[in-house]
Structure 1
Amino acid sequence: MTEPIFNQMLVENSDFLQPVAVSLTHDTEEAKDLIQETLYRAMANREKYQEGTNIKAWLYTIMRNIFINNYRRRKKFSKVTSDAPQDYFMYQTDKVAQNDGVMNAGLREIKGAINRLPDIFRLSFELHYLGYKYQEIADTLKEPLGTIKSRIHFARKMLSSKLTR
Structure 2
Amino acid sequence: MSNVEFNEMLVNNAEFLRPFAITLTRDNEAAQDLFQETMYRAIANKEKYNVGTNIKAWLYTIMRNIFINNYRRKAKQNTIFDNTPNDFLLNYNQATTANAAEGNLKLKEIQEAVHKLPAIFRNPFLLYFDGFKYHEIADMLGEPLGTIKSRIHFARKLLKAQIQRY
> TM-score scaled to structure 2, two decimals?
0.50
The verdict on how the C-alpha distance between 1:25 and 1:49 changes in structure 2, with shifts beyond 3 A counting, is: same
Superposed CA offset, 1:31-65 (max 9, x none): 00000000000000000000011000000000000
Aligned position for 1:39: 39
Aligned position for 1:73: 73
The 5-angstrom pairing of residues 87-126 of structure 1 reads 97-98=88-89, 99=92
Aligned position for 2:135: none
Q: Mark the runs of 5 or more structure 1 residues left unpaired by the alignment.
A: 81-88, 90-94, 103-117, 119-165
CA–CA distance in structure 2, aligned partners of residues 4 and 47 of structure 1: 13
Superposed CA offset, 1:60-115 (max 9, x none): 000000000000010011165xxxxxxxx9xxxxx98323857xxxxxxxxxxxxx
Aligned partner letter, 1:14: A
Report the CA distance between 1:3 and its aligned residue. 0.6
Q: CA RMSD in A?
A: 3.1
> TM-score scaled to structure 1, two decimals?
0.50
- 1:39 counterpart SS class: helix
Identity across aligned pairs (percent)?
58
Q: Mark the runs of 5 or more structure 2 residues left unpaired by the alignment.
A: 96-130, 132-166
The verdict on how the C-alpha distance between 1:100 and 1:44 changes in structure 2, with shifts beyond 3 A counting, is: farther
The verdict on how the C-alpha distance between 1:31 and 1:100 changes in structure 2, with shifts beyond 3 A counting, is: farther
Aligned position for 1:22: 22
CA–CA distance in structure 1, aligned partners of residues 17 and 24 of structure 2: 11
Report the CA distance between 1:18 and its aligned residue. 0.6
- 1:97 counterpart SS class: helix
- Runs of 4+ deviating beyond 4 Å: none
Q: Count the aligned residue pairs.
A: 95
Aligned position for 1:13: 13
